[in-house]
Structure 1
């Protein structure tokens, strides 16, 4: 009987200790996201992860509006425009300015004479300049009407009350296989902007369209709003106690650090998901290079949920239709 009473007492003291630990983590998250446009949270919720594990997550609802800069521009309007009038595009690991010269040289750039994004007589670039045209051109099966267009969607196309809610495990639940980032995205940046999976470049190029990112590596779709496909110098990280800056949290709960260390070098021991374990730092990721079109290649642990519906109960084991 004494042993049973002692065990019960130890369990009663363990529960508050765990609660205190979790609340400490929530306070850390509040500090980490203090420069994001947070609508609610972070708060503790129950969740079911992509592998079916039921655990505790934190939930945070944000507007995808970086506070330190204004997103854009994306598409130049003339083949005489300088780089300041357009964004960037990625090819074979390199970042290219989408200026007027880039647009006029696409047939050479891709060795395909079908490319013709501009009017030969006026030099005007064909740009999706309405919400309807952006949605028709930005989908995976590009509307043929918008072949040979520079595709951009503007932040003002989003409803004023549009938000995204991220439900991410407090403690990563490792798996024995790499997990795709397609549906959940890679994670959430320190400024509240979604760190997405790779852009569907093959589908974009198949329609002879270009969907540039701005100089900060982001562009807009009308489901998740402004989001990143590349991490550039625009994203200021926080000191995460390691030799690189912490720029976000992956959808599986592991931290994401900058591509380069503070000394300007890149880690040379990353696994296929861009992660590694270090003394004192445990396992964590480093964002891919800006030209890689892969902030993370995959996730090492079970992912949580990203949803336009702040009231959705997170069950990531059920494949979502959006985003």
Structure 2
């Protein structure tokens, strides 16, 4: 078994940070020692195929703070977790979107995405104008027949009335688009969120359904959300548009992902590993890493379990993301999460 703990981040920038520039080396050293002591104390409890969480994988400009805290796991056991606070805006991007197409003439370059049945579609003007055919329901009419302009929620009030399970009736047949500027006055920042991730993952006896729980957090500082409520969305004849990274904004979570679109290697960013294995881009809430669906050769692993996880001697147990259009990242939690 190989155990990996990289603490370069904790030495160069305090884990109790408000930014890298003004970090206190004494605090960094203290936290580093705490982590080492924690690992040395609990290392005897590690079972085969577990790799310790590596906090240095998070992009520095996505972080507001990381600290080591006591926590309780879903099995009732006392443990130690990283409390990770991120600013909620993807660290490697300057802008979000595009989301909804402006008109029935809008091409894929200027439009976002929609998924259905496991397939990720370009949300072009042509796609919008053919929704009645796509869904076999003549009530679909997301655009003005005279002008070709798409009905878009272009104010905060409209966004909040439509971006909820019980869509306000006046926003039926709208493309739902919320702007991050409604919830963050600072450019390049989103909605701050804090996540508890076990320092040392603990396997469950029986895998657990994800339900409405956050799936995890990407290294770029963005939430991996539970499945979007597509049944409620479609029943109101709305489309909750995603950008090319299968992310969008809502009032509760700010910008968040509903899928991993690694077709061009940027959503969220990955680096394939030295052996060609799919690159890691996030930690699930149980502390196991989530890797890209495909390896460098464009192949999917063939031995994944029901949670979309498997083990190897280098990475221990880890997950591989589902397809970008599947409205999920992993199938279930193999490990205990903090409560």
TM-score by length of 1: 0.83
Root mean square deviation of aligned Cα: 2.2
Indicate whether 1:18 and 2:42 are aligned. no
In 2, Cα distance between equivalents of 1:83 and 1:16:
47
Which structure 1 segments of 5+ residues have no match? Answer: 1-14, 305-315, 317-323
Match of 2:46 in 1: none
Quote the residue 1:189 is aligned against: 218
Match of 2:207 in 1: 178
CA displacement 1:83-132 (0-9 Å, x = unmatched): 12210111222111001101100000111111000111111111111111
Tell me the matched-pair count: 287
Residue aligning to 1:260: 294
Unaligned residue ranges in structure 2 (runs of 5+): 1-33, 42-50
Secondary structure in 2 matching 1:291: coil
Matching residue within 257, 263, 280 for 1:228: 257
* Secondary structure class of the residue paired with 2:325: helix
Q: What is the CA distance between 1:254 and its match in structure 2?
A: 0.5
8 A Cα contact 1:190 1:237, kept in partner = no
The 5 Å alignment of 1:244-283 reads: 244-283=278-317
CA–CA separation in structure 2 for the residues paired with 1:133 and 1:116: 18
State the 1:17 CA deviation.
6.0
Question: For 2:116, which of 75, 79, 91 is the aligned residue?
Answer: 91
Alpha-carbon contact 1:255-1:285 (below 8 Å) kept:
yes
In the other structure, the counterpart of 1:295 is 329
Q: Distance in 2 between matches of 1:168 and 1:230?
A: 20
Q: Write the distance in 2 (CA, Å) between the matches of 1:139 and 1:194.
A: 18
Q: Is the 8 A contact 2:177 2:241 kept in 1?
A: yes
Deviations 1:250-308 (A, max 9, x none): 0001011111112211011111211112233221100111111111121111223xxxx
Matched, 1:237 2:270: yes
Partner SS, residue 311 of structure 2: strand
Among 149, 153, 158, which residue is 1:133 paired with? 158
After TM superposition, list the pairs within 5 Å mapping 1:115-134 onto structure 2.
115-134=140-159
Query: Is 1:46 aligned to 2:80, yes or no?
Result: no
Q: How does 1:1-40 map to 2 (within 5 A)?
A: 18-19=37-38, 28-29=54-55, 31-40=56-65
Q: Distance in 1 between matches of 2:100 and 2:253?
A: 20
After superposition, the C-alpha distances for 1:36-93 in whole angstroms (9 at most, x for unaligned) are: 421111x110112233222100011111111322210110121111112210111222
SS at match of 2:139: coil
What do residues 177-219 of structure 1 show as CA deviations (whole Å, max 9, x unaligned)?
A: 2323234311111101111121111111111100011001100
State whether residues 215 and 285 of structure 2, in contact with CA within 8 Å, keep that contact through their aligned partners in structure 1. Answer: yes
Distance 1:203 1:58 in 2: 35
- The equivalent of 2:22 in structure 1 is none
- Alignment counterpart, residue 60 of structure 1, candidates 84, 91, 100: 84
Give me the whole-angstrom Cα distance separating, in 2, the residues matched to 1:292 and 1:71: 21
Q: 1:155 aligns with which of 180, 203, 213?
A: 180
Question: Residues 197 and 20 of structure 1: is their aligned pair in 2 closer, same or farther, counting only changes over 3 Å?
Answer: closer
Structure 2: how far apart are the matches of 1:17 and 1:98? 48
